[in-house]
Amino acid sequence: MIRPIGGVTLAALAAGLVMALGVAPREVTQGNVQRIMYLHVPSVWVAYLAFAVVLVGSIAYLGRRSEAADRVAHASAEVGVLFTGLTIATGSIWGKPTWGTWWTWDARLTSVSILFVMYLGYLLLRGMIEDRERGARYAAVVGIVAAFNIPLVHFSVYWWRTLHQPPSLMKPGPGTMPEVIVAALLVNFAAFSLLYVYFVARRVRLLRREAEAVG
Amino acid sequence: MAADPLIRVTGLRKTFGNHRVLDGLDLDVRVGEAVAVLGANGAGKTTLLKVLATLVRPTRGTAIVAGHDCARDPERVRREIGLVAHGSYVYEDLTASENLTFWVTLAGVRPSAAALAGALATVELDRVADERVRTFSAGMKRRLSLARFVLVRPRVLLLDEPFAGLDQRAKKWLEEHLASFKAGGGSIVMATHSFGRELAVADRIAILVGGAIALDTPRGALSADDVQRLYALHAEDTC
Amino acid sequence: MLTFARRTFIVVWKDLLVERRSKETLNALFFFALLLLFVFQFAVGPDRERLAGTLPGLLWLAFILSGLLGLGRTFVVERENDCWEALLLAPGDKSAIYIGKLAGNLLLMLVVEAILVVLFGFFFNLDLGAVLPALAVVIGLGTVAFAAVGTLFAAMTAQVRARELLFPVLLLPVQAPVLLATVKATEAVLLGEPLGSVAHWLKLLAAADVVYVAVGVLTFDFVLEG
pLDDT in tens, C128-165: 888 899 999 999 999 999 999 999 999 999 888 888 88
**Residue in chain C nearest B81 by alpha carbon:** C89
Nearest to A141 among C160, C180, C223 (CB): C223
Under 8 Å between Cβ of C149 and C176: no
pLDDT of residue A175: 58
A215 Cβ neighbours under 8 A, 6+ residues apart: B15
Least confident interval from A114-118, A160-164, B171-175, B229-233: A160-164
Least confident interval from A99-103, A117-121, A188-192, B128-132: A99-103
Which residues of C fall within a CB distance of 8 Å from A64? Answer: none
Same domain, B180 and B76: yes
Same domain, B232 and B179: yes
Q: What angle do CA B97, C90, C166 make, to 5 degrees?
A: 105
Q: Is the pLDDT of residue A43 over 70?
A: yes
Average pLDDT of the segment spanning B171-192? 91
What residue numbers bound the domain in which A50 lies?
Answer: 34-167+176-214
Nearest to C92 among B54, B55, B107 (CB): B107
pLDDT of residue B154: 93
Q: Is the pLDDT of residue A164 over 80?
A: no
Average pLDDT of the segment spanning A171-187? 72
pLDDT of residue B217: 85
Pairing of strands B81-84, B156-160: parallel
Q: What angle do CA C7, C9, C14 make, to 5 degrees?
A: 95
pLDDT of residue B1: 47
Average pLDDT of the segment spanning A175-182? 74
* Number of folded domains that form chain A: 1
Cross-chain residue pair B89–C86, CB shorter than 8 Å: yes
Q: How far apart are CA A75 and CA B231, in angstroms?
A: 49
Percentage of chain A modeled with pLDDT above 90: 47
Edge-to-edge strand list for the sheet holding B7-16: B19-29, B7-16, B60-65, B68-69
User: What's the Cα-to-Cα distance from B232 to each of A183, B40, B236, rounded to whole Å?
Assistant: 78, 10, 6
Which residues of C fall within a CB distance of 8 Å from B89? Answer: 82-83, 85-86
Under 8 Å between Cβ of A46 and A196: yes
pLDDT of residue B113: 92
**Backbone CA torsion sign across B153, B158, B159, B160:** negative
Judge whether B141 is closer than 8 Å to chain C, CB to CB. no
Under 8 Å between Cβ of B25 and B9: yes
Q: Is the pLDDT of residue A215 over 70?
A: no
Judge whether A215 is closer than 8 Å to chain B, CB to CB. yes
**Residue in chain B nearest A64 by alpha carbon:** B72
Average pLDDT of the segment spanning C173-188? 95
Which residues of A fall within a CB distance of 8 Å from C201? Answer: 159
Q: What is the mean pLDDT of chain B?
A: 88
Cross-chain residue pair A148–C211, CB shorter than 8 Å: yes
pLDDT tens digit string along C110-136?
Answer: 999 999 999 888 888 788 888 899 999
Q: Of the residues B153, B185, B202, which one is the last residue of a structural domain?
A: B153
The single-letter DSSP state of residue B152 is S
Nearest to C222 among A118, A141, A155 (CB): A141
Q: How far apart are CA A118 and CA A134, in angstroms?
A: 19
Judge whether B166 is closer than 8 Å to chain C, CB to CB. no
Under 8 Å between Cβ of C75 and C15: no
Specify the DSSP element, H or E, that contains C44. Answer: helix C25-44
Pairing of strands B7-16, B34-38: unpaired
Q: Is the pLDDT of residue B145 over 60?
A: yes
Which residues of A fall within a CB distance of 8 Å from C161? Answer: 128
Q: Which of residues 118-157 of A touch B (CB under 8 A)?
A: 130, 133
What residue numbers bound the domain in which B234 lies?
Answer: 1-80+161-239
Kindly list the domain boundaries of chain C, sorted by start residue. 2-224
pLDDT of residue B114: 94
Same domain, B165 and B56: yes
Same domain, B132 and B175: no
Average pLDDT of the segment spanning B188-199? 86
Selected for mutation to probe chain C from B93, B95, B151 (highest C CB count within 10 Å) is B93
Selected for mutation to probe chain C from B84, B105, B134, B155 (highest C CB count within 10 Å) is B105
User: What's the Cα-to-Cα distance from B51 to each of A67, B73, B161, B194, C24, rounded to whole Å?
Assistant: 20, 12, 16, 22, 36
In this prediction, residue A71 has a pLDDT band, given cuts at 50, 70 and 90, of: very high
Which among A204, A210, A193 has a CA at the least distance from the CA of A78? A204
Rounded to the nearest 10 degrees, how much is the dihedral formed by the CA atoms of A186, A187, A191, A196?
Answer: 0
Cross-chain residue pair B102–C13, CB shorter than 8 Å: yes
Specify the DSSP element, H or E, that contains B216. Answer: strand B212-218
Q: Is the pLDDT of residue B58 over 70?
A: yes
pLDDT of residue B40: 85
Regarding predicted confidence, which is higher, A169 or A102? A102
Cross-chain residue pair C10–B85, CB shorter than 8 Å: no
Q: Would you say residue A27 lies in a domain?
A: no
Under 8 Å between Cβ of C128 and C121: yes
The single-letter DSSP state of residue A31 is B
Which residues of A fall within a CB distance of 8 Å from C169? Answer: 121, 124
Same domain, B187 and B224: yes
Average pLDDT of the segment spanning A107-120? 93
Cross-chain residue pair A130–B17, CB shorter than 8 Å: yes
Cross-chain residue pair C180–A160, CB shorter than 8 Å: yes
Task: Tell me which residues of chain B have a C-beta less than 8 Å from any C-beta of chain A.
Answer: 15, 17-18, 57
Q: Which contacts qualify for B216-224: CB closer than 8 Å, 24 or more apart?
A: B216/B27, B219/B36, B224/B195, B224/B196, B224/B199
Rounded to the nearest 10 degrees, how much is the dihedral formed by the CA atoms of A185, A190, A191, A195?
Answer: 130
Q: Is the pLDDT of residue B7 over 80?
A: yes
In this prediction the ipTM stands at 0.92
* C neighbours by CB contacts (3+ pairs under 8 Å): A, B
Average pLDDT of the segment spanning B113-122? 93
pLDDT of residue A170: 37
Same domain, B218 and B124: no
Selected for mutation to probe chain B from A62, A67, A133, A137 (highest B CB count within 10 Å) is A133
Under 8 Å between Cβ of B76 and B68: yes
Cross-chain residue pair A130–B15, CB shorter than 8 Å: no
Strand ranges in chain B using DSSP code E only, listed in sequence order: 7-16, 19-29, 34-38, 60-65, 68-69, 81-84, 156-160, 187-192, 204-209, 212-218
Looking at the complex, report in whole angstroms how far the Cα of residue A54 sits from the nearest Cα belonging to chain B. Answer: 24
Least confident interval from B105-119, C96-110, C121-135: C121-135
pLDDT of residue A173: 53
Which among C183, C212, C218, C213 has a CA at the least distance from the CA of C198? C183
Q: How far apart are the first and last CA of chain C?
A: 26
Cross-chain residue pair C91–B78, CB shorter than 8 Å: yes
pLDDT tens digit string along B205-230?
Answer: 998 888 888 888 888 877 778 888 88
CA A101, distance to chain mean position in Å, is 23
Q: Would you say residue A29 lies in a domain?
A: no
* Number of folded domains that form chain B: 2
Cross-chain residue pair A152–C211, CB shorter than 8 Å: yes
Least confident interval from A19-28, A104-113, C83-92: A19-28
A129 φ, ψ (degrees, to nearest 5): -110, 120
Write the Ramachandran bin of A169: left for phi over 0, alpha for psi from -120 to 50, otherwise beta.
beta
Least confident interval from A103-112, B223-232, C186-195, C207-216: B223-232
CB atoms closer than 10 angstroms to residue B230: 17
User: What's the Cα-to-Cα distance from B30 to each of A36, A63, B8, B71, B215, rounded to whole Å?
Assistant: 72, 33, 9, 20, 17
What is the CATH classification number for the domain harbouring B182? 3.40.50.300
Looking at the complex, report in whole angstroms how far the Cα of residue B22 sits from the nearest Cα belonging to chain A. Answer: 14
pLDDT of residue B200: 85
Average pLDDT of the segment spanning C194-203? 91
Nearest to A138 among C161, C204, C223 (CB): C223
Average pLDDT of the segment spanning A143-159? 94
Looking at the complex, report in whole angstroms how far the Cα of residue B38 sits from the nearest Cα belonging to chain C. Answer: 23
Q: Would you say residue A58 lies in a domain?
A: yes
Least confident interval from A13-22, A129-138, C86-95, C208-217: A13-22
Q: Is the pLDDT of residue B239 over 80?
A: no
pLDDT of residue B3: 64
Regarding predicted confidence, which is higher, B201 or B237? B201
Average pLDDT of the segment spanning A92-99? 82
Looking at the complex, report in whole angstroms how far the Cα of residue B58 sits from the nearest Cα belonging to chain C. Answer: 14
Average pLDDT of the segment spanning A66-88? 95
Cross-chain residue pair A134–C226, CB shorter than 8 Å: yes
Which residues of A fall within a CB distance of 8 Å from B69? Answer: none
